[in-house]
A and B are shown apart, each in its own frame.
Chain A
Amino acid sequence: MDCRKCTDLLNDYLDGELDGNEFAEVEHHVGRCPYCKAELERLLKMRDLMAELKSVEVPEGEREAFIDALRARLASEGVPDHSKRKDLRPYLVVAIAAVLILIAVVSFGRRPQPPPMIGPAAGLTPLENAFVDRVIAGSLDDHVLATNMEFMSDPGLTSGQALAIWKVVKETHSDLFEPYEPED
C-alpha cells in the first residue's frame, strides 16, 4: 500500500469501516511510514477537538415544557387531524383511467403524421439542409444514432459541412441529446 492509498483510507480506518485486510494493511503501513503516522495523529487530534463539542446537556424540565408548547402550537395553528385524512388513491386511479381513455379516443383514427422537419438553416446550402432534414426524420427516436454522429459518415460530406450540420442538429434538436445518458 502506498501513502496516497493509505491517507485516503485513514478516515475509514478511524471510522471502523475497513474490512480486516484493509485494516491490517493500513496498520502495517502506518507502523512504518512517519508521514502517514503524522497524518493519522493530526486526524486523531481533530477528532479529539470535535469530541469537545459532544456534550450538550438538556436543562431539566426543558423537554416537557417544549412538548407543552408544541401541543399548544399544534392546537392554535389548526394543524389537520391525520385520522380524518381521506385516502385519495381510489380517486386517483379513476382519474388516471379517465385520462387514458380520453387519450385513446382522441388518438383513434388519427392518421400518422409525417416526421417533423426543420426549416432551412442559415449558412447551409439547400443540399446540406436536405441532409439535415433526412437525418432528423430518420433519427428522432434514435439517440444512439445522433450521439454517435453516424449520419456524418455520408461519403459525399466534407468535414466542414459535417461540423456545420452537427451544430444545426444539436441546436435545433437539443431534446435528442440531453436525455441520453450512457450507462456506467
Chain B
Amino acid sequence: MKPGRITPPSKGQSEVVDKETRIARRETADETLALRSRDSRLVSRTLAGDGEAFEDLVRLYYDRIRALVYHHLHREDELDDALQDIFLKAFQALPRFRKRSNFYTWLYRIASNYCIDRLRKRRLELVSLDDDEKRDAIEAKLPTSSQTPEESFSSSEKVALVRTALGMLDPLFQNIIILRELEGLSYEELAESLDINIGTVKSRLARARTELKKILEDMDAI
C-alpha cells in the first residue's frame, strides 16, 4: 500500500483497499502458520537431543539475526562473538520457548535484549569521555559535506549519516526502529518480539520516529 499519488479516493477505492488488505493478511497468516509449524518441529527435535535440528534453526535465521545485530552494533569485530552469545543463549533457553509463539520473534527478543544491553554499556563508556572526546567520536562518524544527502552524498555517506542518527537514539528507540524499518516486522510481530502490547508498540515507535526525524532534521538530512 504505497502512497505514490495523493488524490482523494472514492468510496469504491476504499473498499478495494480493504479487500486487498484482507487477502494480504490471510496470505501472511497462512505463511506464518507454516513457518511456525516448521520451526516448532525443529525445536522439538532439538529438545529431543538432535543437534542438527538446532543447526538448521541457526541456518534459517542466521542472516536476519546477523543483520539485526550489525544494525545495532556497527562493529564487524564484535559481530561474531555477539552472534555466538545470542545463539548460545537461545539454545540454553529453548526449554522455556512456548510453541504458541513464533520462534523468530522469540529469537529477535533474545537478540534485541542482548543488543540493547551492549548499547547501554557503550553509553556508560561514552559518559566517561570528556566533552571534546565525545564530539570527536560523533564527528568522526559524520560525512564531511555541507550539502544535503540528496544533493551530494554517496550511498556510503548516507549510510554513515543514518547510522550516526540512529546511534544517537535511546537504545530502546533504536531497537524498535531497526526491527520495524529494517527488519520489516509488523506491529503484531513487534509486540511479540518485545513482549509489549500493540498500544505500547505504536507509542514507542511513534516517539522513536519523532526523535529520529528531529535528529535528521538537525543534520539537514531531510
User: CB within 8 Å of B: which residues of A?
Assistant: 8, 11-17, 19-21, 23-24, 27-28, 30-31, 37, 40, 42-43, 45-47, 49-50, 52-54, 56, 58, 63, 66-67, 69-71, 73-74, 77, 79, 81-85
| B6 close to A31 (CB less than 8 A) | yes
On chain B, the residues within 8 Å of A28 by CB distance are 8-9
Nearest CB in chain B to that of A22: its residue? B14
A46 to chain B, nearest CB (A): 5
Interface residues in B1-43 (C-beta closer than 8 Å to A): 1, 3, 6-9, 11, 13-15, 17-18, 21
| B6 close to A23 (CB less than 8 A) | no
| B155 close to A52 (CB less than 8 A) | yes
| A83: contacting residue among B49, B62, B84, CB under 8 A | B49
Report the bound CA distance from A84 to B95 in whole Å. 12
19 A-B contact pairs sorted by A residue (CB < 8 Å): A11-B206, A14-B3, A16-B21, A19-B21, A23-B1, A31-B7, A31-B8, A47-B181, A49-B216, A49-B221, A52-B159, A52-B162, A56-B70, A66-B58, A66-B62, A67-B55, A83-B47, A83-B48, A83-B49
On chain A, the residues within 8 Å of B15 by CB distance are 20
Q: A27-B3, A82-B49 are in contact. Are A70 and B58 (CB under 8 A)?
A: yes
| A82 close to B162 (CB less than 8 A) | no
| B80 close to A53 (CB less than 8 A) | no
On chain B, the residues within 8 Å of A52 by CB distance are 155, 158-159, 162
Q: A67-B58, A67-B59, A82-B94 are in contact. Are A54 and B88 (CB under 8 A)?
A: no
User: CB within 8 Å of A: which residues of B?
Assistant: 1, 3, 6-9, 11, 13-15, 17-18, 21, 46-49, 51, 55, 58-59, 62-63, 66-67, 70-71, 80, 83-84, 87-88, 91-92, 94-95, 149-150, 155, 158-159, 161-163, 177, 180-182, 187, 202, 205-206, 209, 212-213, 216-217, 221-222
Report the bound CA distance from A17 to B202 in whole Å. 11
On chain A, the residues within 8 Å of B92 by CB distance are 79
Report the bound CA distance from A82 to B49 in whole Å. 6
| A81 close to B88 (CB less than 8 A) | no
On chain A, the residues within 8 Å of B212 by CB distance are 46
Report the bound CA distance from A11 to B70 in whole Å. 25
| B222 close to A20 (CB less than 8 A) | no
| B95 close to A73 (CB less than 8 A) | no
On chain A, the residues within 8 Å of B94 by CB distance are 82
On chain B, the residues within 8 Å of A47 by CB distance are 181
| B49 close to A16 (CB less than 8 A) | no
Q: A27-B8, A45-B222 are in contact. List 20 more A-B contacts (CB 8 A).
A: A11-B206, A14-B3, A17-B187, A19-B18, A20-B14, A20-B18, A27-B7, A42-B213, A43-B213, A45-B150, A49-B222, A53-B182, A58-B63, A63-B62, A63-B63, A66-B62, A67-B59, A79-B92, A81-B49, A85-B95
Report the bound CA distance from A157 to B94 in whole Å. 62
| A58 close to B62 (CB less than 8 A) | yes
| A27 close to B9 (CB less than 8 A) | yes
| A24 close to B14 (CB less than 8 A) | yes
| B181 close to A50 (CB less than 8 A) | yes
Nearest CB in chain A to that of B58: its residue? A67
Report the bound CA distance from A82 to B206 in whole Å. 41
| B66 close to A70 (CB less than 8 A) | no
| A82: contacting residue among B47, B87, B158, CB under 8 A | B47
On chain B, the residues within 8 Å of A85 by CB distance are 47, 95
| B84 close to A73 (CB less than 8 A) | yes
| B49 close to A11 (CB less than 8 A) | no
Nearest CB in chain B to that of A54: its residue? B182
Nearest CB in chain A to that of B202: its residue? A12
